[in-house]
Copies of this chain bind each other. A is one copy, B any other.
Amino acid sequence: MVSKNQIKLINSLQQKKYRNEHQLFIAEGVKVIQELLQSNIVLEHLFATSEIFSSFDVKAKTEVSTQEMKKISALTTPSSCLALFKIPSQNSIEKSGLIVALDDIRDPGNLGTIVRLCDWFGVTQIVCSKETVDLYNPKVVQATMGSIARVKVNYLDLNKFISESSLPVFGTFMDGKNIYKEALPNEGIIVFGNEANGISSEIGKNIKKRIAIPQFGEIQETESLNVATATAIVLSEFRRKN
């Protein structure tokens, strides 16, 4: 049984303002919740339907009906479980290795996919401009498929971070050098830009290594690649060379 106050709290957590106020975020679905339970992130409360309730070995849990799940889920087709986790305190930032920097990524699905890609390619640190979509947006959490538990994501003054770093700084530009032919180190910052506007000119000035993914289509009219697919190709290219 889920109380009216619980429903109100959970629905409010769709908004960043209330996530910050309560320091809680929502995760939906078996896979994501199981990954989070195995991580250092602390469970606040779990809600699950009877079919799956007993499979969770946690104390703070409540069995709910499918009808109740519909009231707390933001998904069109609600999952069998939903959990609230405590937002972890901001970690210290790693300043070595391969770092992915996000300049104003707005789409939750893109951020989630990029977190998942970083996890796959062993990139443990993402730094985001303050305008980038919130990591704890439920759609981001969903799209990470549990990788959110293993990749550190910090929000900061991105231009300051980049200009103060001693690492080589890479960014993708239409007129950049062919990534397939460039030597790529196993340490550096790789910047990806906003969906509509790309990398901001302010940050662009601090990017010395301008790279591009070559286009192979006969008609060169294709819109630039989606930022998540560009991230996939760039990370693959960095890792295959090391």
Closest 3 CB pairs of A and B: A122-B216, A229-B232, A232-B232
**Beyond A147-B222, A150-B222, A228-B228, 15 additional pairs, beta carbon < 8 A:** A113-B226, A113-B229, A116-B222, A116-B225, A116-B229, A119-B217, A120-B217, A121-B216, A122-B215, A122-B217, A146-B221, A146-B223, A225-B232, A233-B233, A236-B236
Known: A229-B229, A236-B237. A145 touches B216 (CB 8 A): no
Chain A residues 112 to 157 lying within 8 A of chain B, measured CB to CB, are 113, 116-117, 119-122, 145-147, 150
Please give the distance in Å from A147's CB to the nearest CB on chain B: 6
Residue on B nearest A147 in the bound complex, by CB: B222
Task: Give how many copies assemble into the complex.
Answer: 2
Candidate in A226, A230, A237 with the most chain B CB atoms within 10 angstroms? A226
A180 within 8 A of B: yes
The reply to whether B229 and A213 form a contact with Cβ atoms under 8 Å apart is no
Taking CB atoms, residues of chain B closer than 8 Å to A113 are 226, 229
Q: Is the CB of A218 within 8 A of B122?
A: yes
Given A217-B150, A233-B232, are A222 and B180 also a contact pair (CB < 8 Å)? no
Give Cα A237–Cα B35 distance, bound, in whole angstroms: 30
A95 interface residue (CB < 8 Å to B) = no
Q: Which residue of B lies closest to A178 (CB)?
A: B240
Residue of B nearest to A38 (CB): B221
Q: Is A183 an interface residue (CB 8 A)?
A: no
How many chain A residues touch the partner (CB < 8 A)? 37
Residues on A facing B (Cβ under 8 Å): 31, 35, 109, 113, 116-117, 119-122, 145-147, 150, 180, 213-219, 221-223, 225-226, 228-233, 236-237, 239-240
**Complex: how many Å from CA A146 to CA B120?**
30
Q: Is the CB of A120 within 8 A of B215?
A: yes
Q: How far is the CA of A229 from the CA of B230 in the complex (A)?
A: 9
The answer to whether B35 touches A121 (Cβ under 8 A) is no
Report yes or no: B109 in contact with A222, Cβ–Cβ below 8 A: no
Q: Which of B120, B223, B239 contacts A116, CB < 8 Å?
A: B223
A120 to B224, CA, bound (A): 8
Q: Which of A119, A150, A215, A240 neighbours the largest number of chain B CB atoms within 10 Å of its CB? A: A240
Contact residue among B119, B217, B221, B228 (Cβ-Cβ distance under 8 Å from A121): B217
